[in-house]
Structure 1
Amino acid sequence: MTCRRKAPIALAALLVTLAGCSSSRETGSSNTETAPLPPQAERLLDETRTTIAVGRLADADALIAGARRLAPDHPDVWVALARLRFRQGEHLHAIEAVDRAITLGPDHPPALLLRAQMVRDAHGFAAALPWFEAALAADPFFAEGWAEYAATLGDGGQAGDMLEAIRTMANVAPDDPRVAFMQAVLAARGGEYATARSLLSRSGLTKNGVPAALQLDAVISLAEGNADSASVILESLTQRQPSNTRLREMLAKALFDAGRTDELIDRFGEEAATPQASRYLLMLVARSLEHSGDRVGAAPLLARAYRMADRWPIPFAVREGLPGPTIAARTAGVAGNWPKAIADTQALSDQFPASADVAVLAGDAALGGGNWRSALGFYQMATRVRRPWGLTRKISYGYLRSGDPAATHSILARHVASDPENASAVIALAESLGRRGDWLRASQLLDHAMSLGTGHDPTVLGLRLRAALALGNRHDAYRFAALLADMRPRSLVPSGPR
């Protein structure tokens, strides 16, 4: 059997890289009540957007300061300031700035849209929808708002509503390439890959080398069985975004599906040996070793992958391009020197108290050092800005280790409710239900996880086997025991049910 996983298409995340592809301006139309900016202030904000786009953040700070002197109470100025503060890592200050923009312009579409995006990141899709709807009520011709609203609906599993939003956007901005792009994503999610490719081509974004469009192109190629084509695209993307773990895993999958297992081992074997390697990458490298006849080398990787569900989430890794103090803290954590890691991250937290990224790093150090309460405090601060699955997993682990399994279960259930297509979150919630003895609901969640492409994950198969045994379903028990035996090395295979 092979290691397979459906490639999820998180449209809201992809749209971040498409922000410059629209022909419409970021601001809403002129039918709102917000007074126009003075021409000089508008010019400064235009220059600000350009300097932020090329990473000249200090110059952008000076430009916004000038705009604030000219128009201190205009919501556009505060929206621009919020975007800059977010890019600078001052996330809590960004929230304060956008809240100020909404106070100054309660019906200002760009301010409402930015708040919607922040709510989506911190509290999930459902909580963000009223903010998106408020932005569109303030300006029904706000193309940027329709694009983000459609993406949020889709990522929240509301495909029908997403389609309606895309159709409205097509009427509002018929020449916007994101219309065809989002239609392509919707078609790919529904398994209509030929239609998805046609729509993606119509968008013109792949021709222009837009990363989000190229990633979707690779997803479609993988689904169509054109793994070699996908690997070429993904190789280029990983060179441009070397720290993007998702792209690296997709490249490994493409190499595996293309039968280029020796190349996969050469490329990812060293990474698989590190503690930070994901379960998915371990499985791919292990299966590649098996294909090459090295079952002895594959066995420990498969064993590690199988044990990962019961292991604490290793948070530290050293990556290129990080600031020196961050590298020092991460290096200490990788080495297990938690007192130094905690001291280093506390110093960073004191220096950058508004940064969610620093809060997560400080939480990771506290988690590594066994200070669950301190870790949870840092993580809770970070959730005011964003709540990705990795952070939810750490929070749930912290609650579990601090003796509060009910809080763990609540955190997991909340995440799955807002992100139902996240297979890892679904599996974690199923594990929690299993610990509570609720094997019926656990089995339903595991079946959903397998429908998302995790049917060859040994942890999922093992849990599903336990659920079948607990529910007295002997047919399912034999079936999942056989699948599990085929996935795990011989020394790890238990005897089947009798």
Structure 2
Amino acid sequence: MTARKKYLLLGGAFMLALGVPTAALMAGAKEDARAFYERGAAALRRGDARTARIELLNAVKADPQWGSARIMQAQAMLALGDGLTAEAEIERARALGVAMPLTRHLMAQAMLLQGRAEDALREATAGDVEPRYQAEAERMQGRSYQALGQNDAAAEAFGRMLKLSADDSRGWVDIARYRFALGDRGGAVVAADRAARVNPRNVDAVLLRGMLVRDQYGLRAAIPWFRKALAVDPNNVPALLEYAATVAELGRAKWMLGLTRKALSLAPGNPRPYFMQATMAARAGNYDLARKLLQRTNGALDDVPAVMLLSGILQFENGNYTLAAERFDRLQARQPFNMTARQLLGAAQYRAGAYAGAAQALQPLIERGDADSYSLTLAARVQEKLGNDPLAAELLDRASLPVRGDAAVFQGAGSAILRAGPALAEPGSAPAVIPYIRALLEGGNVAQAVVSAQKLQQANGNAPAAHVLCGDALFAAGRNAEAIDAYKKAANLLFDEPTALRLVSAYRRAGAAQKAIGVLNLYLSQNPLSVDANRIAASAHLDAGNWNEAATLLEALRERIGNGDSLLLSDLAWARLGQGQKVLALSLARRAYALQPSSPVTSDVYGWMRYKTEGPSRASIDLLEKAVAISPQHPLLNLHLGEVYARAGMKGRARKALELAAATAGFDQGGRARALLKKL
């Protein structure tokens, strides 16, 4: 038997990652092929799969009959995510005499990259796998079972892998991804951390750790991890794209463009850089450019929710409301609790003349006690088109209220009776129980929702969704301190916007304004572009009298979203007044009132700013009276009106307004109202 035939049968050459020496594999290879092979193997060892691919391609060209070079080339292609080419190289190697038992695990991985999980499983479970590669075969089994939705079998396969190779960094990466897919974020973090510690040069491990850090702590905290990944492999496309996505959310457009352009130079057919560039163009208002960039994805990402959203927005901005509604409807069907998608669907259907559909889409939003003014106003316009003027008037009245009601459960969870079967069958399963608990809360059965949510939380301590849902149930039950504890546990696992804002809301309800501001500051330090978080942070600073901080946040928001938001301008007027800039405050209040003259908020702020600049004039009193007429029970509006009445010498009217403000339970300025009453 020739030297080449021996190493083909042993198959040691292609398992470079397992530390098999390459010198013994060179015998019989052509001299020039050996040089290319050695350089390719070295590149693959240091994580540079692109250089390895080129060197090994040259090795194969120099000696097309060298099976080990083809296997090594297949490994390079697997590292680059090209399963089709890897499969072809493995098949050629097998035809050249490389034994199948030595390549089962590699072929399984190649098939997984192509989405062929069943074929991969057949390779990985073949009874003739070479024992030294059994751990790799078990790893491929775990991935295959996971892809097929057989999670228990996947867990067993990963367990067998660990018994054979407890410190395989690649195996821990797969376990982290498996746990993440099941909602076990805490377990995913532990596994990803171990993967990165076992092999700090495993780019997949470092990259995954960075992605989990981004979810857990925020955008800025993840950047060092992406830099570490790129320090190992500067041309790693997934790392470039995750880095680009992160800096894009931080508002670093030029930085993102540079990273996506480099990714495109390395992977010209990759659609994700075009999507990120299209999103940035749309944010800048350049919708034509955004459409052109999105078209360059060639439909490869059409089923991705974020792409559905962007596509719908671009159709909406182009006046294609029916097409926009189709995009938003698909997204809403995929994510029924996505309030933004529902709101946009309602807006698109309204513009398209599909008023009944618009009303149906908006219904779950306007049923909430904390429904926003835009949704309420839009729903009112829809009802006007449907001829329901009384309902339209009621919705407009709610839209003009100065404050929202308490946050409520999102409507649309369905019937608790219909959801009960799966939940009772699997009381510890989050996918089965979460819809049931949401339905219980929607139906008002808060006590049962709390019991079920607490059981789910105990069974899924590493799942942030379980803690959030438990917090929602406790919040609905009025058990605020316990809700805060649940939200904090969720935030330790996943500090995203919904969790952060829930925690802020709970702290504010508890009267812990400084703790609420602390949470907001922490979230905004990592996610500075969040509009909702910035709005709430500004409101919290206004409540605390932090005028400079509030003004800074509000001015930054105004620069981003323009001068068309009357509530933002009203808040900014209060901040400027607090800074002593009365003239600027009056100008802002006047602009807010011009935008929405029927709102008690704008009437009050404009009246108060006029009072502060010109005293208790007839104009200021008229505006403040208008605000109270629209919202007669609101204590702050009555306080303002009562104070101006008192200054104008209208003591009877002042007493009536101030007494209402002073008697309102929970009004934080009740003491001020009582002090003014004593002076009358």
Tell me which interval the TM-score lies in, with the shorter structure as reference length. 0.7 to 0.9
The answer as to whether partners of 2:567 and 2:601 remain within 8 angstroms in 1 is no
Aligned to 2:488: 380
The answer as to whether partners of 1:468 and 1:477 remain within 8 angstroms in 2 is no
In the TM superposition, residue 386 of structure 1 has moved relative to its aligned partner by 1.3
In the TM superposition, residue 259 of structure 1 has moved relative to its aligned partner by 4.8
Q: Choose 296-305 or 204-213, whichever is displaced more.
A: 204-213
Q: Which runs of 5+ in 2 are unaligned?
A: 1-42, 50-74, 76-104, 106-131, 424-432, 611-619, 621-680
* Residue in structure 2 matching 1:475, options 587, 601, 607: 587
Aligned to 2:522: 414
* Residue in structure 2 matching 1:449, options 557, 568, 588: 557
How far does the alpha carbon of each residue in 1:303-355 deviate from its partner, in whole angstroms, 9 at most, with x for none?
Answer: 44455855333246562597524345434434555443332222222222222
The answer as to whether partners of 1:433 and 1:441 remain within 8 angstroms in 2 is yes
In the TM superposition, what are the counterparts of 1:155-170 in structure 2 within 5 Å?
Answer: 155-170=249-264
In the TM superposition, residue 166 of structure 1 has moved relative to its aligned partner by 1.0
Amino acid at match of 1:406: Q
3-state SS of paired residue (1:384)? helix
In the TM superposition, what are the counterparts of 1:226-245 in structure 2 within 5 Å?
Answer: 226-245=320-339
Amino acid at match of 1:368: A
Q: 1:50 to 1:465 in 2, by over 3 A?
A: farther
Aligned to 1:7: none
Q: Distance in 1 between matches of 2:146 and 2:371?
A: 33
Aligned to 1:301: 395
In the TM superposition, what are the counterparts of 1:200-219 in structure 2 within 5 Å?
Answer: 200-205=294-299, 209-219=303-313
In the TM superposition, what are the counterparts of 1:34-183 in structure 2 within 5 Å?
Answer: 39-183=133-277
How far does the alpha carbon of each residue in 1:217-239 deviate from its partner, in whole angstroms, 9 at most, with x for none?
Answer: 22222233332321222223333
Amino acid at match of 1:284: L
Amino acid at match of 1:344: S
* Residue in structure 2 matching 1:31, options 40, 46, 65: 46
In the TM superposition, residue 134 of structure 1 has moved relative to its aligned partner by 0.9
The answer as to whether partners of 2:400 and 2:601 remain within 8 angstroms in 1 is no
The answer as to whether partners of 1:392 and 1:415 remain within 8 angstroms in 2 is yes
The answer as to whether partners of 1:461 and 1:484 remain within 8 angstroms in 2 is no
Q: Distance in 1 between matches of 2:563 and 2:139?
A: 50
Amino acid at match of 2:546: D
Aligned to 1:343: 451
3-state SS of paired residue (1:429)? helix
User: Over aligned residue pairs, what C-alpha RMSD do you find?
Assistant: 3.2
Q: 1:239 to 1:327 in 2, by over 3 A?
A: closer
Q: 1:308 to 1:493 in 2, by over 3 A?
A: closer
Q: Distance in 1 between matches of 2:201 and 2:496?
A: 29
Aligned to 1:14: none
Q: Distance in 2 between matches of 1:43 and 1:245?
A: 44
How far does the alpha carbon of each residue in 1:267-292 deviate from its partner, in whole angstroms, 9 at most, with x for none?
Answer: 43365235475554333212333455
Amino acid at match of 2:346: A
The answer as to whether partners of 1:465 and 1:481 remain within 8 angstroms in 2 is no
Work out which of the two has the higher radius of gyration on C-alpha atoms and give 1 or 2: 2
Q: Choose 321-330 or 55-64, whichever is displaced more.
A: 321-330
Q: 1:326 to 1:201 in 2, by over 3 A?
A: closer
The answer as to whether partners of 1:454 and 1:460 remain within 8 angstroms in 2 is no
Q: Distance in 2 between matches of 1:386 and 1:270?
A: 26
Q: Distance in 2 between matches of 1:491 and 1:52?
A: 54
Aligned to 1:191: 285
* Residue in structure 1 matching 2:318, options 203, 218, 224: 224
How far does the alpha carbon of each residue in 1:46-68 deviate from its partner, in whole angstroms, 9 at most, with x for none?
Answer: 45445434533233223323433
How far does the alpha carbon of each residue in 1:130-160 deviate from its partner, in whole angstroms, 9 at most, with x for none?
Answer: 0111111122222111111100110111111
TM-score of the two chains, using structure 1 as the length reference: 0.83
3-state SS of paired residue (1:383)? helix
Q: Which runs of 5+ in 1 are unaligned?
A: 1-27
Amino acid at match of 2:536: A
Q: Distance in 2 between matches of 1:479 and 1:492?
A: 9
Q: Distance in 1 between matches of 2:259 and 2:502?
A: 35
3-state SS of paired residue (2:407)? coil
* Residue in structure 2 matching 1:485, options 577, 597, 601: 597
3-state SS of paired residue (2:597)? helix
Q: Distance in 2 between matches of 1:208 and 1:396?
A: 35
Amino acid at match of 2:593: A
Residue 426 (1) aligns with residue 534 (2)? yes
Amino acid at match of 2:597: A
The answer as to whether partners of 1:421 and 1:452 remain within 8 angstroms in 2 is no
Q: 1:39 to 1:212 in 2, by over 3 A?
A: farther
Q: Distance in 1 between matches of 2:306 and 2:532?
A: 22
Q: Distance in 2 between matches of 1:147 and 1:29?
A: 21
Q: 1:242 to 1:370 in 2, by over 3 A?
A: closer
Q: Distance in 2 between matches of 1:493 and 1:54?
A: 60
3-state SS of paired residue (2:493)? coil
3-state SS of paired residue (2:596)? helix
In the TM superposition, residue 257 of structure 1 has moved relative to its aligned partner by 3.7
Residue 401 (1) aligns with residue 509 (2)? yes
In the TM superposition, residue 93 of structure 1 has moved relative to its aligned partner by 1.4
Q: Choose 180-189 or 118-127, whichever is displaced more.
A: 180-189
Q: 1:147 to 1:30 in 2, by over 3 A?
A: farther
Q: 1:360 to 1:465 in 2, by over 3 A?
A: same
3-state SS of paired residue (1:242)? coil
Residue 368 (1) aligns with residue 368 (2)? no
Q: 1:319 to 1:50 in 2, by over 3 A?
A: farther
Amino acid at match of 2:513: P
Amino acid at match of 2:595: L
In the TM superposition, residue 30 of structure 1 has moved relative to its aligned partner by 4.9
Q: Distance in 2 between matches of 1:62 and 1:235?
A: 39
Q: 1:302 to 1:391 in 2, by over 3 A?
A: farther
Residue 285 (1) aligns with residue 379 (2)? yes
Q: Choose 69-78 or 206-215, whichever is displaced more.
A: 206-215
Q: Distance in 1 between matches of 2:138 and 2:400?
A: 55
In the TM superposition, residue 439 of structure 1 has moved relative to its aligned partner by 3.5
Whose relative contact order is higher, 1 or 2, with alpha carbons under 8 Å and at least 6 apart?
A: 1
Q: Distance in 1 between matches of 2:375 and 2:308?
A: 22
Q: 1:200 to 1:360 in 2, by over 3 A?
A: same
Q: 1:205 to 1:444 in 2, by over 3 A?
A: same
In the TM superposition, residue 168 of structure 1 has moved relative to its aligned partner by 2.0
Q: Distance in 1 between matches of 2:268 and 2:48?
A: 26
Aligned to 1:272: 366
3-state SS of paired residue (1:312)? coil
In the TM superposition, residue 262 of structure 1 has moved relative to its aligned partner by 4.6
TM-score of the two chains, using structure 2 as the length reference: 0.62
The answer as to whether partners of 2:513 and 2:544 remain within 8 angstroms in 1 is no
The answer as to whether partners of 2:196 and 2:206 remain within 8 angstroms in 1 is yes
Q: Distance in 2 between matches of 1:58 and 1:228?
A: 44
Amino acid at match of 2:196: I
The answer as to whether partners of 2:138 and 2:161 remain within 8 angstroms in 1 is yes
Aligned to 1:17: none
Amino acid at match of 1:429: A
Amino acid at match of 2:588: D
